[in-house]
Structures are given as structure tokens and as C-alpha cells.
Structure 1
Amino acid sequence: MPNFAYIVKDAKGARVEGIMKADTLDVAIDKLSKEGSTIISVKAASEGAFKGKMSLFDKLMLAIYKFRTGVSLKTLVFFTRQLSTMFSAGLTLEKAISDLEREETNKKFSKVLRKISDDIRKGYSLSESMEQHPGVFNPLYIALVKAGEVSGTLHTVLDELSDYLEKIEDTRRKVMSAMAYPIFIMVFLTIVVWGMFYWIIPQFSEVYSNFDADLPGPTLAAIAASNFIKNNVIATVFLAMLTVFGFFLIYLTDRGRYLMDAFILKIPVIGQVVTNSIMSKFSRTFSILMTAGVPIMDTMELTENVVQNAVVEGAVRKARVMVKEGYGVANAFRKTGAFPPTLLQMLSTGEETGDMD
């Protein structure tokens, strides 16, 4: 069933954006009209808009969509924990989410919760309702909720998902804290270099101009760069911004992202911190998916989409292909050469004992 991106105004006049599934465009429009929404725009979302092979334009639009509709991990952690507690206490999902929506201070997330509550009231499952908001709930989140619905252990899955998200958030904070000093040094050095070109080198340039001597090529290049920066401050700032935006566009391409992610992993100190963070997220994600009863191939695919590093994603993808061809899980990951011995040993032990979670 195809996806359709829509922009409507609800009964209160609030602008609502989202993604819905429907057989045809007419069915999507009819469904929105019956909900009492004023339709602004409804169009087919490209097949690669939220998964699979995406064009550069699709990736740029997805980045913008997530920025406009996404919520912080901290907000999502709090919501999941509260929903788990309220559902375990006996409240219906519709009632629990409706109560959380009224208490939510984030306007973006409040609209999302209102739509989810309405969809559940109309007969949709929780996972189906969340699928309409890919900028908020990623495939991993939805897959775990769906697994809980199928197995009848949604309250347990929500509780485990809360713990998982809290650990991911804690890891994120530790990584940011560990990287703060190296980033500060890099920014400080950038400012120092800029200051040298803007203030110090021009003073030396005046001294050199009083001598009738041939200057070395590097010195002449430094003086020329200094003169350009000093005489074209606005152009220099614009060029710097353009360079950053250019790197962002390059990062959106598959090849560019792979090269940049590989470079990050090789940076002293920062690379090790990032690697540890990725492996921590990988092991926790793999564990919670297996615990929830998600099949191994689906687990590997979802884990691939969570690690957020093209090098490791490629390694997981290769391992998934090898497992499909008959290799053992631990052996497949070992052959990629991208995973540390400790993690491989844990996978091997789990595979031998039949306890992969």
C-alpha cells in the first residue's frame, strides 16, 4: 500500500502534517475529508522517501521533514516511560495517550499524540498509528511495538523500550561530554588561526614590504590569504557557510557519507569515543529486538538502520547477506572485520547457548 504525504488543517484550525497509507490518492483524500480536516495538500510520497534507496532530493526532504516534525530523544523517553506506566496500571492506550497529549508541552509532539489517539479510537493499532509519523517514531520503535502487540506483551515491551531509550540517551550524553573538550580545542584553534590571518599576518606584511627581498612561496600565499580575509570579511563568512552546506550535501550522498563516517572513526580520541558509542547502541538494539521476539533477519536490518554510521551499516548489511546464505550470526559478523572481539565473543556464546538476547 503506497504512502501519501498530507498537509491539512484540523477542526481547531491547526496545521497538521504527516504520512498515511491508502490504496489510491482518492482514497487518501476521502479518508482525510471524513476526519473533518481541511485539506491543503495531499500527494504520493516517493517510494524511497522513508526507506530503501533514496535520491539526494529525497534525503534532503527527509532531513527537513524530521527537523520540522521530530522531537528530542529526552521527550520520547519520557513519553514511552509514562505510557508504559499508565498502560500497566490498566488504562487503555487511547485514554493513556489522550491524557499524555493534554499534559504535553511540546506543541509538535502534542499534535502527533492527538492524531495517534484519534487513530486508535478509529480502530487502528498503536504501531499502525505511529507509522504515520516517521519523523517521530523510527522503524525500530514501531517494530518493537508491533512485536509486543502480536505477542500480547505490549506492556512488557514498552517497559523494556523505555529502559533501552534511557540507556541510549545516557550514552549520548556521555559521548557529548567526552567529545566536548576535543571540539572546544578545534574551535579554539580555528579562531586562533583566523585571528592570525586577520590581525597578526597583516602586521608582518607591512614589515616585509619595507624590505626589498624575495619572500618564500608559503609566506606570499599566507599574506595573500590574509589580505583576502581582511578585505572580504563578508565573502569569507559566506564562503565558510557555503563550504559547510556543501559538506552537508556531500554527506547526504551514499559515497560521501561513507567517506566522512570512515574518517570520523579514524580521528584520534574522537574516533574511539564514536566507535564505543556505536557498538554500545548496536549491542543494546540487537538485544532488545531479540528479546521482543523479532526474527533475526529483521533484527539485523533494524539494527543496521540504528547505528548511524555508514561503515558499520555496510558491515551489518554484509553480515545479513551472509546469514541469509547460511553462515552463523557470529561468524558472519566476524568476517566483516568491523566488530571488536568482545562483541563477537558475546554473539558466539549466545548463538551456542541459543540465548541471543
Structure 2
Amino acid sequence: MPLYRYQARSSSGKVQSGTLPADSVMAASALIRNQGLRVVQINPVGASRGKAGLSGLLKALNYSSGPSQRDVLDFTTQLAVMTRAGISIRAALEGIADQVTNLKWRKILLDIRQDVESGRQFSEAIARHPKLFSPLYVNMVRASEMSGSFAKMLDRIAAYLQQQLETRKMVIGAMIYPGIIGSMAIGVTVFLLTFVLPRFSVVFEGKEDLLPAPTVFLMALSATMVNYWYIFLGAVLALLTGLILFLRTRLGRLTFDRVKLTAPVFKRMFRALYINRSLHTMGELLGAGVPMREALRITGDVAGNIYYKQLWRAVHSSVEQGKKIITPLQKSTLLPKAVVQMIAAGEEAGKLAEVLDEVAQFYSRLLRDAIRTVTSMIEPIMIILMGSVVGFIAMAIILPIFKMSSLVK
């Protein structure tokens, strides 16, 4: 069990120090509080920073990877627990950093702690790392610093990050499955054309007049792929490179985002995703006390789709002109009329944050249903497609064999 060194203050103001075993920093803090003490500082004893061997190698490999949003979520959760336990932000940052194995992440946390020690607000310190701490995160923390609800706000941020990570995982999972099936179909097709069909070329040699058109076409395609494979490989690589470069252009992003909103199988899922993300983000920001214009700007930045980003920018401009937020929403087809009406009612009643949160929860459930629907629809479609391709190639091989057998008889 790890050993922790601590400093704590009694109710009389006397500072005590010592060590105690505990499963984690939080558990150690709880043990100290149970003794009627207030934690001032707590750190693990003999943190394994310099371990050699396999652990050192893993740390070295982990250094290059950098922290992820999952790391940020875990950090936020731990910081909320520790600050609620009465541990200072500086001590909490040091304690969390000592438990981190990712060296880049540890350095960032120690940099944040140093900024806090030098007199910066915590929101200012994390704002210096925009790749990890989004404007939403920074603004919600800044609002909590003014209202004095730091730990509670961290809980809200952690819940938001958790939902966004789970949503992203579900969407990626729904998109990976057809990708795997499609890759298998392409692999099987290439295998049949380059390894199986060439074996039958000897059987069909000199009998081209007896072969049906599909067989002639596949045999020619097979011979071309075997003899000029480098041309096919170059064409595929050129196509993929061109597609990637196109998607990096504004026209490419507009086209791809439009496809996601109009594709028959996927549009319901993506619309639910973007509506949920936008309304959830805006609701959290307004609930945290972030000004409306700043909340709209951040909502547009995290929308995830150019068309929704343009919509929230239009709402931002409308609010700057003194108009209501529903004015541009009523002209758009990106939000259902029922959603616009609920937003209007929330704005009129002064309960916009609560309404946005309720609508976001509804679309979170709708998104899960849409993902299940997409997965259940794609599976039979991909199986039928794969079976059709393999069946076509198989029939192109079998039919001429039957035909030649009947001629022999």
C-alpha cells in the first residue's frame, strides 16, 4: 500500500505532519479529516519517477503520446474530490501530478501548479494549455472562481466531459463497424481476383468464346491486377491522398458536413449528435454564469459541423444587435421547430439554461437510439453487399465450368 506524507492543521491552528498508508490521495485525505484535521499538503512518499526496466520503458513510450481528454476527465474528477476535502489547489495539483505516469501530462500539471503558486488564478493557468482545456472548461472554472463554487463546478465539468467522451465513443463505434466489414469485403475481393481467378485461367484458356461476359470481364480485370498491381496501388494511394487533401479545404469540409446531414442512413444520428452537443454546451455555460455572447461563441466553436457553427455565429450576431436568440433559429432548418419553440419559451421565462439542459438530455437519448438503428441497419446491408460481390465472382467461375461440362456430355 502506498505511503503518503502530509501536513495538516488542527482546529486550534497547530500544524501537524506525518506519514500514513492509504490506497490513494483521496483515501489518505479522508483518514486525516476523520482525525479532525484540515489537510494542508499531501504527497506520496518515494514516488516511482526513476524506476528502470519495463516501467521506465513504458513511461518513455507514454511520454511521446501526450495526455488525452480521458486524462483531463480523470484530473478534473480527482481535483473536485480533493478540493472538496479541503486540500488546497496547489497541494492537490502536486498530489495528482505525483500519481501521473505520462511525463508530458505531469509536466503540464506541474506548470499549472507553478502558475498558481506565482499568483495566477487557476483559470488563467489552465488557459495557457488550450489544446487540453477548452474555452468551455476555462470559462466555467472562471465563473466558479467568482461565485465560490469551485468543486461543484468541477463536478459539472467532469459530467460534461464524461458524456462527450461516451458520445464520441458510441459514434466512432457505429462508424468503425461498417468500415471493418467494408475492408473485409475489399480484401476478399482482391484475394479472389489476384489468387483464385488466376488458377482458373489455365482451365479457360482457348475457350474464351464459350465464356459469359461477366467471366471475361473478371478474367481481364484479374490479369490486369496481377500484371500491373503497382498501377492499381498507385491509383488507390493517389485517390486517398486526393480525398484527404480535398477534405482539408473549406469546400471539402462543407461537402463532407453536408453529406453527414443528408445521408439517408446517417443523417438522423449526426443531427442528434450536433444538436445534443450544441445545446448541452450552451446550457452548461449559461448555467455556470457565463455571459450569453461568450456562451454562443464557444457553442459555435465546439458544434463539430460547419453548418451548425454558422448557425450559432448567426445567433451570436443577432444577440450583439440586441435581438432575441430565436430570431435566426426560426429561419434555420438545422433545429426542429419544437426545439426552437422550447428555446423561445425558456428565453421568455428566464429559464433558458434549464430548458437547454432538458432538450440536450432528450437528444442524448435520441442519439443512442439513432446509433442502435444505424448499427442494426448497416449490418445486413454490408453483409448483403459483401455476399453479392463474392457471389458474383463465384458465379462467374462456376457458370462457365458447368457450361463446358454440358458441352463435353
TM-score by length of 2: 0.62
Gaps in structure 2 of 5+ consecutive residues = 1-62, 354-409
Residue of structure 2 in register with 1:176 after alignment: 172
What does residue 194 of structure 2 align with? 198
- Relative contact order, CA 8 A, sep 6+: which one is greater? 2
Of 161, 164, 179, which residue of structure 2 is paired with 1:165?
Answer: 161
Structure 2: distance between partners of 1:124 and 1:161: 21
Q: Which piece of structure 1 moves more, 308-317 or 225-234?
A: 225-234
Residue 165 of structure 1: how far off its partner (Å):
0.9
| Distance (whole Å) between structure 1 residues aligned to residue 238 and residue 125 of structure 2 | 39
| Structure-2 change in CA distance of 1:303 and 1:103 (3 Å) | same
Q: Using the TM superposition, give the Cα deviation of residue 181 of structure 1 relative to its aligned residue in structure 2, in angstroms.
A: 3.3
Aligned partners of 1:221, 1:122: CA distance in 2, in Å?
A: 74
SS in 2 for 1:261: helix
* C-alpha distance 210-272 of structure 1, shift in aligned 2 (>3 A): farther
CA contact (8 A) 2:66 2:102 kept: no
- Counting matched residue pairs gives 291
**Is residue 2:245 matched to residue 1:270?**
no
Q: Which residue number in structure 1 is paired with residue 227 of structure 2?
A: 231
Structure 1 residue 80 displacement after superposition: 0.7
Partner of residue 116, structure 2:
120
Secondary structure (helix, strand or coil) at the match of 1:336 reads coil
1:139 counterpart = 2:105: no
Quick check: 1:301 aligned with 2:301? no
Whole-Å separation in 1 of the counterparts to 2:170 and 2:205: 52
- Mapping of 1:273-288 within 5 angstroms? 273-288=269-284
Q: Are the structure 2 counterparts of residues 190 and 348 from structure 1 closer, same or farther at C-alpha, using a change threshold of 3 Å?
A: farther
Higher deviation after alignment, 76-85 or 178-187: 178-187
Deviations 1:87-120 (A, max 9, x none): 1222121111111111112222112111111111
Residues 75 and 96 of structure 2 are in contact (CA less than 8 Å); yes or no, is this contact kept in structure 1? yes
The CA distance in 2 between the partners of 1:206 and 1:314, in whole Å, is 61
Q: 1:328 aligns with which of 321, 324, 330?
A: 324
2:248 — aligned with what? Answer: 252
Segment of structure 1 superposing worse, 264-273 or 238-247? 238-247
Deviations 1:141-199 (A, max 9, x none): 22222222233332222111011111112222322333343333332333234334434
Q: Specify the alignment match of 2:364 in structure 1.
A: none
Q: Distance in 1 between matches of 2:307 and 2:236?
A: 27
Query: 2:99 aligned to 97, 103, 114, which one?
Result: 103
TM-score for the superposition, normalised by structure 1: 0.71
Structure 1 distance, partners of 2:200, 2:274, is 47
* CA positional deviation for 1:246: 3.5
Q: 1:277 to 1:206 in 2, by over 3 A?
A: farther
How far 1:128 sits from its partner (Å)?
1.8
**8 A Cα contact 1:69 1:135, kept in partner:** no
Aligned equivalent of 2:37:
none
How far, CA to CA, are the matches of 1:218 and 1:126 in structure 2? 69
What amino acid sits opposite 1:264 in the alignment? K
- CA separation of 1:306/1:162 partners in 2, compared to 1, >3 Å: closer, same or farther? same
Deviates more, 1:85-94 or 1:223-232: 223-232
Query: Are 1:319 and 2:303 an aligned pair?
Result: no
What is the SS of the residue equivalent to 2:129?
A: coil
How many angstroms apart in 2 are the aligned matches of 1:218 and 1:320? Answer: 59
Q: Tell me the percent identity.
A: 29
CA contact 2:77–2:154 (8 Å) conserved in 1: yes
Question: How far 1:259 sits from its partner (Å)?
Answer: 0.9
Change in 2 beyond 3 A, CA 1:145/1:237: farther
Name the SS of the counterpart of 2:331 in structure 1. Answer: helix
SS at match of 2:346: helix
Q: 1:76 matched to which residue of 2?
A: 72
User: Which deviates more from structure 2 when the two are superposed, residues 265-274 or residues 162-171?
Assistant: 265-274
Q: Deviations over 1:282-315 (max 9, x none)?
A: 1211110010111112111101111212222222
Q: Which runs of 5+ in 1 are unaligned?
A: 1-66
Sort the Cα spacing of 1:124 and 1:166 in 2 relative to 1 into closer, same or farther, 3 A: same
1:233–1:94 Cα change, 3 Å: farther
1:26-51 deviation line (CA, Å, top 9, x unaligned): xxxxxxxxxxxxxxxxxxxxxxxxxx
Distance 2:204 2:321 in 1: 70
Distance 2:201 2:268 in 1: 42
Partner-residue secondary structure (3-state), 1:335: coil
CA shift, 1:222, in A, is 6.3
Structure 1 position 276, deviation (Å): 1.8
| Root mean square deviation of aligned Cα | 3.1
Letter in 2 for 1:84: A
Of structures 1 and 2, the larger Rg is shown by 2
The answer to whether residue 129 in structure 2 is matched with residue 129 in structure 1 is: no
Contact 2:208/2:216 (CA < 8 Å) preserved in 1? Answer: no
- Residue 341 of structure 1 aligns with which residue? 337
